[in-house]
Amino acid sequence: MKRKLVFVHMILIAAWLLAACGGGGAQATATSPAVPTSPPPAVEDTPTEAATEPMEETAAPTGTAVEAEETPTGAAATEPAAGGVVMTPVPTASEAFTLGLVLSTLNNPFFVTLRDGAQAAADEAGVELVIVDAQDDSARMTSGIEDLINSQVDALLINPTDADAVVPSIQQANDAGIPVFTVDRGSNGGTVVSHIASDNVAGGRMAAEFLCEAIGGEGNVVELQGIAGTSAARDRGQGFNEYMSENCPNAEIVAQQTANFNRDEGLTVFENILQAQPEIAGVFAHNDEMILGAIQAAEAAGRTEIVFVGFDAVDDAVEAVNDGTLAATVAQQPELMGRLAVATSVSHLNGDTVEENIPVDLSLVTRE
């Protein structure tokens, strides 16, 4: 009897370990990238979104403002991004097209800025832009898209509330022969002409370029990685490592450890790395949460020589940049994203071929 019980327990433990690993992982995938996102809704519509979406939209009210102003100061390091907003040409429309722009929410500064960028581009191109705010409600988004299909817009620019829920609507637009473009968040089905979203690989390179220069091109560098297997962690890491190995040969990446996009893990993992590495020149983390945890660890240990670079430009990080504890953080450019969405759809309607993936450059938030 006892023996049987022990056996049952071992199975239970095994099952629990598995479930906890799987569940914990999925949960973390969903929530951590959602931290910087528009607060309550983003955390709800999680797993599909985190899995499919290359990038979470950063709800940094002050951040976006700071970033827009600060971009020029970081210009030396980031000409393409800095010039991007103004320089990207919008083609003039060959006819008086009407575009439908469906946004997941306008209750988030990120998307308000995106809308403004799209509107400005539409005015330049000479097309009409009809804007629908789905208020983070998939049903509202479905009916909004239906209305736009019925009023026979020439193209649909959709920023889905949910990568799965939007599929039937996109198929409906496909049936009606209306070209569809997705913005920031992708769709898990239907035919989409182009997907316009931030370029995480370029963001990783941008962080590497800044870090390399800040540490004078040499010294020990640490990379705090996001959840293994997520696209954000993969792309940001790829860009960072490519740049470091190509252009920063005298810096050595001495530790690459995952802290799962979490601030508390950023703290403990970096505490351990501090124990292992007596000399660290710089740290790059795949998101701001981890870098903010690492900064706490370094402060507690009195290691003030380290240069920290984060990613996302969340409020806390922008504040840390202003305080001088964080050297830089990579920010998305919603205005440029909106602009590129309109430019791409107008090009397509003009009869030009457009790329399937339109990467949107990022910018660097630094102190003066």
Partner 1 sequence: MSIQTIPLKVDRRIISQRFGLLLSFLLLALVLSLLSDRFLRVSNLVNILRQASINGIVSVGMTLVILSGGIDLSVGSVLALSSVIGASLMKQGTPVGLAVGAALLMGVFLGTVNGLIITRGRIPPFIATLGMLTVARGLTLMYTQGQPVTNLPAEFRIIGAGAVGPVPMPIVVAALTFLAAYVVLTRTRYGEYLYLVGDNLKAAYLAGVPTGLVTVSVYSISGFCAALAGLVLIARLNSAQPVIGIGYEFNAIAAVVVGGTSFSGGEGTLTGTLLGVLLIETLNNGLNLLNVSGLWEQVVKGVVIALALILYQLLNRPSR
Positions that interact with partner 1 (CB under 8 A): 5, 9, 12-13, 16-17, 20-21, 24, 27-28, 31-32, 34-35, 37-40, 42-43, 225, 228, 254-258, 262-264, 267-269, 271-273, 275-276, 289, 292-293, 296, 300, 315-316, 319
Pick 32 or 169: Cβ nearer partner 1:
32
Least distance (Å) from partner 1 to the CB of residue 193?
Answer: 33
Least distance (Å) from partner 1 to the CB of residue 317?
Answer: 10
Pick 19 or 176: Cβ nearer partner 1:
19
Pick 310 or 338: Cβ nearer partner 1:
310
Least distance (Å) from partner 1 to the CB of residue 253?
Answer: 10
Least distance (Å) from partner 1 to the CB of residue 188?
Answer: 24
Pick 94 or 272: Cβ nearer partner 1:
272
Least distance (Å) from partner 1 to the CB of residue 140?
Answer: 21
Secondary structure of the chain as H, E, C letters: CHHHHHHHHHHHHHHHHHHHHHHHHHHHHHHCCCCCCCHHHHHHCHHHHHHHCCCCCCCCHHHHHHHHHHCCHHHHCCHHHHHHHHHCCCCCCCCCCEEEEEECCCCCHHHHHHHHHHHHHHHHHCCEEEEEECCCCHHHHHHHHHHHHHCCCCEEEECCCCCCCCHHHHHHHHHCCCCEEEECCCCCCCCCCEEEEECHHHHHHHHHHHHHHHCCCCEEEEEEECCCCCHHHHHHHHHHHHHHHHHCCCEEEEEEEECCCCHHHHHHHHHHHHHHCCCCCEEEECCHHHHHHHHHHHHHHCCCCCEEEEECCCHHHHHHHHHCCCCEEEECCHHHHHHHHHHHHHHHHCCCCCCCEEEECCEEEECC
Least distance (Å) from partner 1 to the CB of residue 351?
Answer: 44
Pick 137 or 213: Cβ nearer partner 1:
137
Pick 194 or 262: Cβ nearer partner 1:
262
